[in-house]
């Protein structure tokens, strides 16, 4: 029997990423402490190279390789390009912060690239094993990133909680996958979908497997009631790491849900729709109500994330292309808002001081009117106030839910969104109506100034003209289903 080598072209960006991770680690070993910026530059070059390779392989047709375990389609390419851009922005925003805290090391950049590789594998997986491998590469990298500051007891505690709960979620996911395999006889996502369509004898086993899989997915999305890790990890991790955890992995999580639930278990949508309704309502309720009581800004944003993941799930409940595309649009909007918000928190940090309390935003309009205005745009968008992108993102998923016949769910979502507006508007009150606690100047690097301003304007412009981004989202979904 002759060995037929796989087609490596669809996975060229992943191969390049893995090679460059090794290059970054070796470069960091050979350069001195005074040239640590070299690792940063190599990381940005790696992301740019991956973007070029992904763009070159862009095609409307899905290409399978590695015995059908890896797929390169429009959804994968678009999610990967967005992931590269997000990770690059995270590094630009974080450079000064990690420099002042002795985190500007090869380990930080290597772990970020390894995590990005895990996201890329998850996004392109067409087999349960590939999905799980990608998930574990991402998860293990994130655990290590949270614990990177070994002198911080908070970070160490957060990493331990993250690791234990993450292991539990991985166990749920593996158990669910094994039950689906037992019922369908395959780990290939397309084969699983075909087996379910043709009918399986062990329907009860399949449903139990589905429940465990949804539980594992919910943990990765930080959806209630599997959200318990998020507040502690967001608060305990260095702010640069919190920004990374809260942004780029959401694209991978969306790809994960699309591959598993939509492509693999799409014929069981009547079974998982009900579960997602419960998860969405609980996430919006717990996230918005618990956030009101928080005084720590990172903890507040963790609960905010939980509520936003509830909104994200609303698009999947409709179980059609329009609903999935509205969820993709929501993910993009959420990541844009998260990038800008945590960038502002890091702007308020300085050497020896962590801006972790909501009160740190007091009098920001007097200290720097421009950054106060950008924060205003971000808070309005997170609250879903027009004409920001956050408003249109919520409107899109609510329309999908109403079209699916869940009018009561849309009404509940609007009510929870109104509750959530309180803790966002409170920050605006602090910025514009309170006196500053310090007159320390805010003077970031030029690249941060430009990127943060562009981030703020993108939230405004894409809210006024969302059609192009919505069209890209719909194109990605339709060409991959």
Question: What separation in angstroms does the CA of 408 have from each of 101, 402, 412, 413?
Answer: 48, 8, 6, 9
Closest Cα to residue 407, out of 417, 416, 398?
Answer: 398
Task: Give the alpha-carbon dihedral of 399, 400, 402, 404, to 10 degrees.
Answer: 160
The DSSP secondary structure of 155-197, one letter per residue, reads HHHHHHHHHHHHHHHHHHHHHHHHHHHHHHS--BHHHHHHHHH
Q: 45 pLDDT band (50/70/90 cuts)?
A: very high
Helices (H), strands (E): how many in the chain?
20, 2
Distance CA 125, CA 79 (A): 13
Q: How many CA atoms does the CB half-sphere of 116 hold within 13 Å?
A: 33
Other beta carbons less than 10 A from residue 300's beta carbon: 24
> What whole-number distance in Å separates Cα of residue 370 and Cα of residue 263?
45
Domain ranges of the chain: 9-478
Name beta bridge partners: 65.
70
Q: What is the mean pLDDT of residues 386-393?
A: 93
Tens-digit pLDDT profile for residues 236-268: 999 999 999 999 999 999 999 999 999 888 888
How many C-beta atoms lie closer than 10 Å to residue 269's C-beta?
17
Are 118 and 137 spatial neighbours (Cβ–Cβ below 8 Å)? yes
Rounded CA separation 5/57 (Å) = 19
Q: What global pTM score does this model have? A: 0.94
Share of the chain above pLDDT 90, in %: 62
Q: What is the pLDDT of residue 17?
A: 95
User: 437-469, pLDDT tens digit by residue?
Assistant: 777 778 788 889 999 999 999 999 999 999 999
Q: What is the pLDDT of residues 165-220, one digit of tens each?
A: 889 889 999 999 999 999 898 899 999 999 988 887 778 889 999 999 999 889 88
* pLDDT tens-digit readout, 400-436: 999 988 899 999 999 999 999 999 999 999 999 988 8
Q: What is the mean pLDDT of residues 359-374?
A: 90
pLDDT of residue 2: 60
Q: Where are the alpha helices (DSSP H) in 318-406?
A: 321-348, 364-367, 369-383, 389-403
Q: Which residue has the tokens 């420099």?
A: 99
């Amino acid at each position: 029997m002759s060995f037929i080598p796989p087609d490596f072209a669809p996975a060229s960006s992943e191969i390049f990423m893995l090679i460059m991770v090794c290059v970054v680690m070796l470069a960091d070993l050979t350069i001195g402490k005074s040239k640590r910026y070299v690792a940063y530059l190599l990381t940005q070059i790696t992301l740019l190279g991956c973007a070029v390779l992904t763009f070159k392989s862009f095609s409307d047709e899905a290409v399978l390789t590695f015995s059908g375990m890896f797929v390169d389609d429009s959804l994968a390419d678009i999610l990967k390009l967005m992931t590269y851009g997000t990770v690059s922005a995270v590094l630009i925003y974080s450079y000064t912060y990690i420099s002042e805290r002795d985190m500007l090391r090869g380990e930080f950049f290597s772990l970020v690239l390894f995590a990005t590789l895990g996201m890329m594998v998850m996004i392109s997986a067409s087999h349960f094993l590939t999905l799980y491998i990608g998930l574990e590469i991402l998860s293990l990298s994130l655990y290590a990133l949270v614990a990177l500051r070994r002198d911080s007891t908070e970070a160490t505690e957060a990493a331990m909680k993250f690791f234990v709960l993450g292991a539990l979620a991985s166990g749920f996911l593996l158990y669910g996958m094994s039950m689906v395999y037992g019922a369908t006889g395959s780990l290939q996502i397309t084969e699983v979908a075909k087996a379910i369509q043709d009918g399986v004898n062990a329907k009860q086993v399949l449903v139990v497997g589905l429940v465990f899989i949804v539980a594992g997915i919910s943990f990765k999305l930080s959806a209630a009631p599997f959200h318990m890790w998020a507040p502690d990890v967001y608060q305990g991790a260095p702010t640069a790491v919190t920004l990374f955890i809260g942004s780029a992995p959401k694209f991978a999580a969306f790809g994960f849900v699309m591959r598993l639930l939509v492509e693999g278990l799409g014929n069981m949508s009547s079974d998982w729709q009900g579960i997602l309704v419960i998860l969405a309502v609980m996430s919006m309720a717990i996230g918005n109500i618990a956030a009101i009581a928080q005084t720590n800004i990172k903890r507040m944003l963790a609960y905010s994330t939980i509520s936003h993941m509830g909104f994200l799930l609303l698009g999947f409940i409709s179980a059609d292309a329009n609903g999935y595309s509205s969820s993709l649009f929501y993910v993009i909007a959420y990541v844009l808002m998260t990038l800008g918000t945590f960038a502002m928190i890091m702007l308020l940090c300085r050497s020896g001081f962590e801006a972790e309390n909501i009160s740190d935003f007091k009098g920001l309009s007097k200290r720097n009117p421009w950054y106060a205005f950008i924060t205003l745009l971000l808070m309005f968008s997170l609250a879903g106030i027009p004409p920001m992108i956050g408003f249109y993102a919520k409107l899109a998923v609510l329309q999908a839910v109403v079209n699916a016949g869940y009018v009561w769910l849309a009404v509940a979502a609007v009510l929870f969104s109104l509750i959530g507006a309180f803790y966002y508007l409170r920050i605006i009150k602090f910025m514009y109506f309170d006196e500053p606690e310090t007159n320390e100047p805010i003077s970031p690097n030029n690249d941060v100034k430009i990127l943060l301003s562009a981030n703020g304007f993108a939230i405004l412009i894409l809210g006024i003209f969302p059609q192009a981004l919505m069209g890209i989202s719909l194109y990605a979904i339709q060409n991959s289903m």
